[in-house]
Chain A
Amino acid sequence: RKEVEQDPGPFNVPEGATVAFNCTYSNSASQSFFWYRQDCRKEPKLLMSVYSSGNEDGRFTAQLNRASQYISLLIRDSKLSDSATYLCVVNRNNDMRFGAGTRLTVKP
C-alpha cells in the first residue's frame, strides 16, 4: 500500500462547478498536511496547508480527518485557471511524501 493515495482522476468539470479531491495516508503519526498545485511542465507550488480544524482560502477549502486518515480539497466555482494537477503531501518529521496527483480540467 502506498503511503499517500489520491483519487486517480482525471476530473473534467464545467466552469462554475464544485469539485472535491480526497487523499488518504497510511502513517497515523503524520504531523502536517498540504495541497500543492502543479501546472504542466512546471514545479509543484504550495496551494494551502491543511489544519486540523479545516481551513478556507477563497474558493478553496481543505479539511483533515485524523481518525480516518484522509484529507480533502474542495474547489468551489471552478475557473478555467484551476486546471492543473493537485498533489496531496503528508509530512512526518520533515519526511514529505507525495500522492500521485489528481488531474483537473475545467472546461468552458
Chain B
Amino acid sequence: EPEVTQTPSHQVTQMGQEVILRCVPISNHLYFYWYRQILGQKVEFLVSFYNNEISEKSEIFDDQFSVERPDGSNFTLKIRSTKLEDSAMYFCANHAGISTEAFFGQGTRLTVV
C-alpha cells in the first residue's frame, strides 16, 4: 500500500524557536495537504498544495507558517516562531485525484514548551 512518511515523529521545542516538519509524499499523487490535531480536538486543515503551488490556506495558516518543496518532491512545513498553542500532531496527506483515497503520514507530535 502507498505510504506517506513524516519526520521527526516527535519534536520538542522552546517557544519562539523555528521548527521544520518534513514529509515524503507518495510519488505521482498530486494533491498534498497539511493538517493538525490539537490533543482531544478535531483534525483541522492547514494548507493544500497542488501543481507546485498553494491552492488553499486556512485561517490557522498565518504568516508564521510556510510550506515548501525544497527538492521538488518532499515537503516541509515551517513554523517560524512557535507558540504554546502550536503544540499538536501535524499530519501530511496526499491523494492522486480529487475523488480518490487520501493517505496520511504517521504524524509529527510537536510540543512547544
Q: Do A and B come from one complex?
A: no
